[in-house]
Amino acid sequence: MYLPVSGVEVEPWLPPLVAFLIASCTTSSGISGGVLLLPFQMSVLGFISPSVSPTNLIYNIVAIPGGLYRYIREGRMAWTLAWVTIAGTLPGIFAGAWIRVNYLHDPGSFKVFAGLVLSYLGFRLLYDTFTPNRKENAIEEKFRETANASRGNGAARYVLSAGLPADAVVKRKRLTLRRIEFEFWGEDYSISTFTVVLISVAVGIMGGVYGIGGGAIIAPFLVTYLGLPVYTVAGAALAGTFMTSVAGVCFYSIIAVLPAGAQVAVAPDWTLGLLFGAGGFLGTYVGARLQKYLPEKIIQGTLGFLVVFLGFRYLYPFVEILLAWGG
């Protein structure tokens, strides 16, 4: 099948299959999978024009509702956190798009900064995950006890178990201008509303500048610095990514019909985006379903690897330049 917008020729079954496999592995950590899908489009399919970014955002729009539905159905959607995240992300995405068009025609130095921040967050998550003497938090301890009780002492600590019990749901308590408060599995969490808004605005700006979803950025911040369990962060991160992607596609679609869009290919390939999205919808559903069966350390480790990968993607071209200059 030939797709004239992207210039890609591909079997129609391949994009849905790839998207399904990627989303199944990443959704449990709050990442839709677009961070891995973009290099697949560029390196394997040869889709290298700027329109690959909005095409990737179309994938997010179609795929993410599958995971959101599952998180909502199973009671692991922290609505107070999600709404604050969205409230900060939306103005950020438009600000980032405006900055990109008017000032950052070549945002190379900012990519270095983003790569360093993401690499640090990723390695911090990996360190916390694999440090042998790290103290277990309350959620990890409860999951371990549930796994041991269902499969025998110690036998299912880091493999599929009976999963989270029925009472492991997010219960909204209070949302004020100062604090976001909720309960999950008998544990109370209280974080600063201003801090979440600030992070969300920053994530939105980065999404507008670089054309990426925000899940891979906001999730490690919420887990690493605010100490929230991944089980409560994933749904909110996906919700923020969804809104960022909707705003991004709208922005690119408007640019495509303006004089600036006639000079550079920025119109998304809807056919390819929908093919990826179809597989991603099922993949995010499966990934969200699997989350309740996975220990938090495994989910954190997956998130850490993905964030390090994203950071390396930003830094790699500049490392190549430095190596070539040094040689």
H or E element in which residue 191 lies: strand 187-192
Task: Check residue 316 and give its pLDDT.
Answer: 79
Q: What is the pLDDT along the chain (327 residues), one digit of tens a residue?
A: 888 888 889 999 999 999 999 999 999 999 888 878 888 888 889 887 778 878 888 999 999 999 999 999 999 999 999 999 999 988 888 787 777 666 665 656 667 777 787 788 788 888 878 876 566 678 888 887 777 776 654 444 444 555 788 888 999 888 999 999 999 988 999 999 999 999 899 888 877 666 566 777 888 889 888 889 999 999 999 998 898 888 888 877 887 777 765 666 677 899 999 999 999 999 999 999 999 988 888 898 888 898 888 888 878 777 777 666 765
Structure tokens given for 133: 């003497």
Quote the pTM value: 0.85
d(CA 113, CA 327): 24
Cα–Cα distance for residue pair 33/15, rounded to 1 Å: 13
pLDDT at site 156: 46
Q: In what order do the strands lie in the sheet with 170-175?
A: 170-175, 179-184, 187-192
